């Protein structure tokens, strides 16, 4: 993983109010939980006390409660109650705070900040995700590969005529004009490509360069 980035890790509908959900992300078993007010917590899935799975826990008011000895944590991962020490305890619970991750939810997507620095700002997202005049849906499709392979695959147009010769790559269009890549700003990339039959012409790298 590239550190110090926001990563889209869940869809909002996967985590309803009052729900606890275990999910493996970043090679780590994490626990997600949503309070009655809608705030989301994300932390390492093992309770710091005796390493019980917090994914088996439940929400109690706005706290996640460990199933083993009932220790409670708020949405930031802070330990707020240790039953065995009693409500009147003036103990410092800092030693039990969860190893938590910053969370940001927008446009129906839950983002988690993965890194050792503080988040640099809000996640990048497409404007249409928060434009109420648009609707969109999602498809879950699990690929058992590193995520960098998936990105590479989406950008690789030269395999279309071979791997997908009877669907999206039909027509024997083996010559690739592009892929063109154009940076619109420091964080936004536009890319396009057009394949055509090879009649001996030169490929045109900039043929489909938007605006140019």
- 161-187 core/surface letters (b: 16 or more CB in 10 A; e: else): beeeeeeebeeebebbbbebeeeeeee
Q: C-alpha distances in angstroms, 181 versus 38, 110, 162, 190? A: 39, 28, 23, 6
**Tokens describing residue 105:** 């939810």
DSSP, res 155: H
Which pairs from 128-134 meet CB under 8 Å and 24+ separation?
Answer: 130/106
Measured from the CB atom, the residue of 49 and 97 that comes closer to ligand FES is: 49
Contact string (CB under 6 A) for ligand FES, positions 56-75, x = contact: ----------x-xx-x----
User: Whole-angstrom Cα distance, residue 106 to residue 10?
Assistant: 11
**Tokens describing residue 86:** 């009693």
Interface with ligand FES, residue 8, by CB under 6 A: no
Measured from the CB atom, the residue of 46 and 103 that comes closer to ligand FES is: 46
Interface with ligand FES, residue 99, by CB under 6 A: no
Measured from the CB atom, the residue of 66 and 193 that comes closer to ligand FES is: 66
Interface with ligand FES, residue 197, by CB under 6 A: no
Interface with ligand FES, residue 160, by CB under 6 A: no
By CB under 6 A, the residues from 169 to 188 that bind ligand FES are none
Interface with ligand FES, residue 125, by CB under 6 A: no
In the complex, least distance from residue 84 CB atom to ligand FES, rounded to whole angstroms: 9
Interface with ligand FES, residue 3, by CB under 6 A: no
Sign of the C-alpha dihedral computed for residues 60, 62, 66 and 71 taken in this order: negative
Interface with ligand FES, residue 47, by CB under 6 A: yes
Task: Identify which range of 15-23, 42-50, 132-140, 179-187 contacts ligand FES by CB under 6 A.
Answer: 42-50
Q: Which of 3, 16, 17, 50 binds ligand FES (CB under 6 A)?
A: 50
Interface with ligand FES, residue 79, by CB under 6 A: no
Q: Is 121 exposed, middle or buried (0-12, 13-18, 19+ CB in 10 A)?
A: exposed
**DSSP H or E segment with residue 183:** strand 175-185
In the complex, least distance from residue 57 CB atom to ligand FES, rounded to whole angstroms: 8
Q: Which of 23, 25, 39, 49 binds ligand FES (CB under 6 A)?
A: 49
Site for ligand FES, rule CB under 6 A: 47, 49-50, 52, 66, 68-69, 71
């Amino acid at each position: 993983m590239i550190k110090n980035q926001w990563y889209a890790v869940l869809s909002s509908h996967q985590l309803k109010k009052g729900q606890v959900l275990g999910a493996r992300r970043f090679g780590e078993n994490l626990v997600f939980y949503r309070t009655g007010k809608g705030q989301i917590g994300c932390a390492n899935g093992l309770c710091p006390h005796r390493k019980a799975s917090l994914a088996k826990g439940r929400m109690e008011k706005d706290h996640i409660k460990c199933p083993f000895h009932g220790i409670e944590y708020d949405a930031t991962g802070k330990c707020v109650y240790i039953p065995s020490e009693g409500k009147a305890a003036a103990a410092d619970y800092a030693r039990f705070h969860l190893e938590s991750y910053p969370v940001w939810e927008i446009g129906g997507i839950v983002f988690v900040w993965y890194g050792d620095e503080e988040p640099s700002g809000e996640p990048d997202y497409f404007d249409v995700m928060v434009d109420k005049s648009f609707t969109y849906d999602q498809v879950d499709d699990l690929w058992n590969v590193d995520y960098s392979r998936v990105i590479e695959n989406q950008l690789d147009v030269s395999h279309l005529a071979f791997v997908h010769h009877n669907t999206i790559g039909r027509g024997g269009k083996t010559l690739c004009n592009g892929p063109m890549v154009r940076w619109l700003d420091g964080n936004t990339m536009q890319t396009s490509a057009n394949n055509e039959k090879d009649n001996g012409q030169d490929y045109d790298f900039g043929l489909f360069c938007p605006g140019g």
